[in-house]
Copies of this chain bind each other. A is one copy, B any other.
Amino acid sequence: MQSRKDLANAIRALSMDGVQKANSGHPGAPMGMADIAEVLWNDFLNHNPSNPDWFNRDRFVLSNGHGSMLIYSLLHLSGYDLSLDDLKQFRQLHSRTAGHPEYGYAPGIETTTGPLGQGIANAVGFAAAEKILAANFNKPDFDVVDHYTYCFLGDGCMMEGISHEVCSLAGTLKLGKLVAFYDDNGISIDGEVEGWFTDDTPARFRAYGWQVIENVDGHDPEAVAAAIKLAQRDSEKPTLICCKTVIGFGSPNKAGSHDCHGAPLGADEIKASKEALGWKYGDFEVPADIYSGWNALDAGAEKETAWNALFEAYAAQYPAEAAELKRRAAGDLPANWEQVSTEMLAKFNAEANKVASRKASQNVLDVIGAELPELLGGSADLAPSNLTFHKSSKSITGEDAAGNYLHYGVREFGMSAIMNGLALHGGFIPYGATFLVFMEYARNALRMAALMKKRLVHVYTHDSIGLGEDGPTHQPVEQVANMRNTPNLDTWRPCDEFETGVAWKSGVEKTDGPTALVLSRQGLAPMARSAEQQAAAAKGGYVLVDSDSAPEIILIATGSEVELAVNAAATLKEQGKAVRVVSMPCTSVFDAQDAAYKESVLPAAVTKRVAVEALHVDFWWKYVGLGGKVVGMTTYGESAPAGDLFKHFNITAEAVVEAATSL
């Protein structure tokens, strides 16, 4: 059996070698955190390398994701399906060992990290997921959901604002099974952090209601182990273990300096480092006794087997709960989903209510929320405006997690990244809300959900100048185009209650990425649809009103502007024009249809096209072409009642008619 130092040095050696071979990467953090990782993974982490998807595993998040060779080394050494060859392919095309840990590329990567601060936010989501599921499913003597969430984070994560949002909320929610390790090495890219980061971080986290264990020597395994035990003893407070470490530990000439942060050490320095560490092996060479010291396969299998036995006993006593937990963990929808959602749509179509689409969304939630306990709602302190609290909503508090609604507070970015963690954990379809323009505060978390192809639903209300008096800071212009250009994200801007239902249905059913719902503050007139049109709405774009003969003009609209387009078409028809109106609630879903369908909606021969949307015009040239026109926004909004604004910015049925006749 090798010493703990030897085991940790395997991480250091592999990290140095991996970065050197790629001639690119970050050796400093893995070398600095190797001892902490060794203690955590070998003595505490409950996981099963043979089954990275074991539902009750502890979650491990590397928030300082640039230190990716740390997690690749850990996965390889402990027995995951990640070979030495994989490590040698670090940062190469088609390899599983990407520059930053990418969810879905290698087994055991719980979340994609790299954008700083978001890993700890995901970890808060994992811990919240565990606590909420436990509160909803565990029974006396049956703690079937019972795991820790561990997170490594560095100075960069600590400086990012999102760390404030999510750690503050973690304290309020009393996420006692969240344990974070702060890699306090005093170095960031510009150099020694004391020039720009002088927080008393322990005091800051105590102010959030965390347990803080200070001044732990991150290179002393006994101290680290003692701290973790202390962390586990407090079941109410999340714990921050502040570890003093040396970046690039072991490198005689670069340790403690930012020189080892983001570049290979170089062959000579690697040689010197291995000598200094007493590591006598070749490049990418790990001796058998080191492997055996790390191997977690047997222990992991035992742990999962024990849990399986527990779960079987639980299932015997609580069959309904067990089946439900299995369903939710698998991400399957309930058996009655298709019926419930179809009936809801038929009802909306028949009732033809005039409501704001934000209100329509709440009406949807009143229906589906009762059927989908996995819908975990929330809003960044705008529940009464976003209308996200539905008839079956129950608030979650620090004292009582047996609910399905999180009051995220005024924390848009934190909310969105926590939602990513909830979705990654499994057992939930998270939805969260804010005003559309404040999507921007959370923008990169939305992108991360799309990059990771996770199912969740963002509810963005107050979607244009139609919000009125709050003015330009609150009126979106360029935001929806940005979302539509985001790969894997479906952005819906429904025109009435029926389309809002279609959008929600799509978001719940889409398993390969997030969905954003762009909803109005103001009331929207219901549109009439045939059965065929009702079905076509799910295709993202469809003919809502057609001309009697072949169309000579096509009007394309979304959301609150569909009514304008329909009214403009009526006027144009009176003038003898053959006009078609296409409702296009989701461009990405429309784009994904087959060519024949798209041609049937937007025939290439019809070049007289006008798009109307109270958002930035530039997105729509894609559909109307150089010869078309777009009625929309090119500037910021103003503060005034909504009706005045639509006239002021000339987004009216008359403007659409004028644009169409000018072609």
Contact = CB atoms under 8 A, between A and B. Distances in A.
Contacts of A161: 117, 160-165, 411, 413-414
Contacts of A622: 618, 621
Contact of A115 (B195, B196, B473): B473
A81 interface: no
A113 B99 CA distance: 39
A331 interface: no
A640 B93 contact: yes
A292 interface: no
Contacts of A114: 470-471, 473-474
Interface in A194-214: 195-201, 203-204, 206-209
A340 B645 CA distance: 46
B481 A92 contact: no
A448 B437 CA distance: 12
Contact of A410 (B188, B385, B636): B188
Contacts of A54: none
A468 B644 CA distance: 49
Given A195-B397, A410-B159, A411-B159, A473 B448 contact: yes
A408 B190 CA distance: 10
Contacts of A209: 198-200
Contacts of A270: none
Contacts of A115: 437-438, 441, 473
A353 interface: no
Contact of A381 (B196, B203, B441, B477): B196
Given A114-B474, A156-B381, A188-B381, 11 more contacts: A24-B468, A65-B473, A91-B640, A91-B641, A113-B473, A197-B409, A204-B207, A204-B208, A437-B444, A441-B443, A482-B485
Interface of A: 22, 24-25, 65-66, 91-95, 98-100, 102, 112-117, 155-157, 159-165, 168-169, 171-172, 188-190, 193, 195-201, 203-204, 206-209, 379, 381-385, 395, 397-398, 407-411, 413-414, 437-438, 440-441, 443-444, 447-448, 450-451, 468-474, 477-478, 481-482, 484-488, 604, 607, 616, 618-619, 621-622, 625-627, 634-636, 638-641, 644-645, 648
